[in-house]
Amino acid sequence: MKIFRLLITASLGYLMIGCASMTGTIQGNQPVDKSKGVLLAGLTADDKGYVNDAWYYYRKKDSQEELRLDALGTNLFGKPDDYPEDKSKDGRLVAIPLDAGEYELIAWTLYINQAGGYGYIKPKNSPPPLSFSISPGKITYLGNLHINTFTGKNFFGISIPAGAEPDIRDNQSVDMPLLKVKYPNLNDWPVQVSVPDASAWKMLK
């Protein structure tokens, strides 16, 4: 069994937050430039008090610029929840305009609270990239990008986060109706489904 290690803690935590950021999401009441394409994904994390956020990273192929997809983001009024019917997780459906081209998912991170500060759980080794295409005037749906959390016991017998695993799956039955409600300005855009095969990212066997 491969273990996901807690890599950064407490005082260094804030330094990593600025390494990448999520580009602006589409607003449902604003026109969208059809010379661009749209990345659509449901981003979720387990509904646990110690989970601050779940991040997936992507980039345009042949580029070194890493971009981030945030499940929860910065919200002073609590965690966003586009999926209230599922009490086990929090998160949101995001639509991001991108230049047409070839892209790849390259990594993930779970951002958590831990004793004395903050920490990150991510794979020890970089996973193989998962490719997807963005086409002008089309939506590319990547599915539900979730991160499962695993717990263990500390010296005092208290449950603490001990590991995590990415979980990417097709969730069209939920996300397509939500797309029509949350992004009515995209209702006339065709959707190409491109849910990556993330079996190579399953580190826990």
**Sequence-ordered alpha helix ranges (H) in the chain:** 13-17, 172-182
> Is pLDDT above 60 for 52?
yes
Structure tokens at 182: 């949350």
- Give the separation between CA 146 and CA 161, rounded to whole angstroms: 16
**Arithmetic mean of pLDDT, 31-36:** 94
> Is pLDDT above 80 for 122?
yes
**Arithmetic mean of pLDDT, 49-53:** 89
Q: Give the confidence band of 3 by pLDDT, cuts at 50, 70, 90.
A: very low
In degrees, rounded to 5, the angle at the alpha carbon of residue 46 between the alpha carbons of residues 204 and 167 is 40
**Arithmetic mean of pLDDT, 42-57:** 93
Count of C-beta atoms within a 10 Å radius of residue 191: 16
Which has more confidence, 9 or 24?
A: 24
pTM, two decimal places: 0.86
Say what percent of the chain tops pLDDT 70.
86
Count of C-beta atoms within a 10 Å radius of residue 51: 23
**Arithmetic mean of pLDDT, 155-171:** 85
**Arithmetic mean of pLDDT, 107-123:** 88
- Give the separation between CA 27 and CA 157, rounded to whole angstroms: 45
**Arithmetic mean of pLDDT, 6-20:** 40
pLDDT digits 0-9 by tens, 67-113? 999 999 866 667 889 999 999 999 999 999 999 999 999 999 999 98
pLDDT at 9: 37
Cβ atoms of 137 and 38 closer than 8 Å = no
Query: Domain coordinates of the chain in residue numbers?
Result: 5-25+33-201
Strand, coil or helix: 55: strand
User: What mean pLDDT is reported for the chain?
Assistant: 86
pLDDT digits 0-9 by tens, 18-30? 445 577 889 999 9
pLDDT at 67: 95
pLDDT at 183: 97
Strand bridging mode 117-122 / 67-70 = unpaired
> Is pLDDT above 60 for 5?
no
Count of C-beta atoms within a 10 Å radius of residue 80: 18
